[in-house]
Amino acid sequence: MQFHTAKSYAKINWSLRITGKRADGFHDLETVFQTISLHDELTFRESDKLSLTCDDATIPIDDTNLVMRAARLLQSPPVAIELRKRIPAGGGLGGGSSNAATTLVALNAMFDLRRDDLPELALSLGSDVPFFFVGGTAYATGRGEVLTPLPSLSSSTNGIPLLLVLPEERVLSKDAFARITRYSPPLGIDAYRDGFESYTNDFEEPVFAMLPRLRDLKQRLHDAGATWASMTGSGSTIVGAFASADLRDTAAVAFSDVRVERVETI
């Protein structure tokens, strides 16, 4: 019986600008994606029917889950899928999108399907899904699917030390987009090659107005020594970058009242 296990990595957005509303109802974006070491794990085993189990009881295991939707879309032989969750849902870390991309890639390889339409299938599942075929650091436009790889922002093979602050508050993407009242002109890829100066997140202002505690968490990261801090995606996770892992680990002590994760860019 065939089985395959794969890691499904989270992402952050170094920068995220909403540049316009499209005729198809989606928004145009300009963003810089980054994969990070926080990951879920998916195991696929041949079975007589498609099924999904998860060690987090709050995660749906029916066809509302992108893992199930990806497997059905690919039309592979049936598998029993086990999902071990570490990426929180609704935190702007792309866990569901990453799970979907990992499912498409894993089943395509497991059954030697040789599908050449995985990017199209990925985009039909969500705007962030195609990025997870690329990974690393990438500049993206369109809905987020027009991707250009960028050099790593870290000069170290160990990546940039990050502290993820994970509040209990959750933000639905549709609610965040509904609060966008103005659009930002795109800066172009060259603006993002030289550090954090041009990095911003257009969701911060409306989401912080809705959930003021998130603004406080961002300020606390700066106060704790972060060289850069921002909300990722449409929230609610707040991310801080640190000059060293030791400084990051020391800063984590100041957040005993909220869940944090120590991670690195990959």
Task: Give the residue-averaged pLDDT of 105-118.
Answer: 96
Interhelix angle 66-74/118-125, rounded to 10 degrees, is: 150
Task: Give the residue-averaged pLDDT of 74-82.
Answer: 97
Instruction: Give residue limits of the domains in the chain.
Output: 3-150, 161-264
**Residue 85 is a catalytic residue:** no
DSSP string, 80-105: EEEEE--SPTTSSS-HHHHHHHHHHH
Residue 7: count of CB within 10 angstroms of its CB: 12
- Whether pLDDT at 194 is above 80: no
CATH architecture of 3-150: 2-Layer Sandwich (3.30)
Residues 6+ apart with CB under 8 A from 236: 90, 91, 92, 166, 167, 169, 170, 171, 207, 211, 214
Sequence letter at residue 120: E
Q: What is the pTM of this model?
A: 0.95
pLDDT at 148: 97
Residues 6+ apart with CB under 8 A from 160: 153, 154, 241, 242, 264, 265
Task: Give the residue-averaged pLDDT of 48-76.
Answer: 97
Which among 198, 185, 212 has a CA at the least distance from the CA of 18? 185
pLDDT at 126: 95
| pLDDT, greater one: 154 or 45 | 45
Q: Which of 11, 40, 202, 218 is catalytic?
A: 11
If you average pLDDT over every residue of the chain, what do you get?
95
Percent with pLDDT over 90 in the chain: 91
CA distance 32 to 21: 19
pLDDT at 154: 86
| Phi, psi for 163 (deg, rounded to 5) | -120, 120
| pLDDT, greater one: 182 or 157 | 182
| pLDDT, greater one: 19 or 3 | 19
pLDDT at 195: 74
Q: Which of 40, 128, 202, 218 is catalytic?
A: 128
Looking at domain 161-264, its CATH superfamily turns out to be GHMP kinase, C-terminal domain (3.30.70.890)
Asked whether the beta carbons of 250 and 151 are under 8 A apart, the reply is no
CA distance 58 to 66: 15
Asked whether the beta carbons of 12 and 93 are under 8 A apart, the reply is yes
Bridge partner list, 28: 20
pLDDT at 155: 78
* Peptide bond connecting 236 to the previous residue in cis, omega within 30 degrees of 0: yes
pLDDT at 5: 97
pLDDT at 200: 95
**Residue 128 is a catalytic residue:** yes
| pLDDT, greater one: 154 or 248 | 248
pLDDT at 119: 94
pLDDT at 73: 97
pLDDT tens digits, one per residue of 163-189: 999 999 988 888 999 999 999 999 999
Residue 118: count of CB within 10 angstroms of its CB: 18
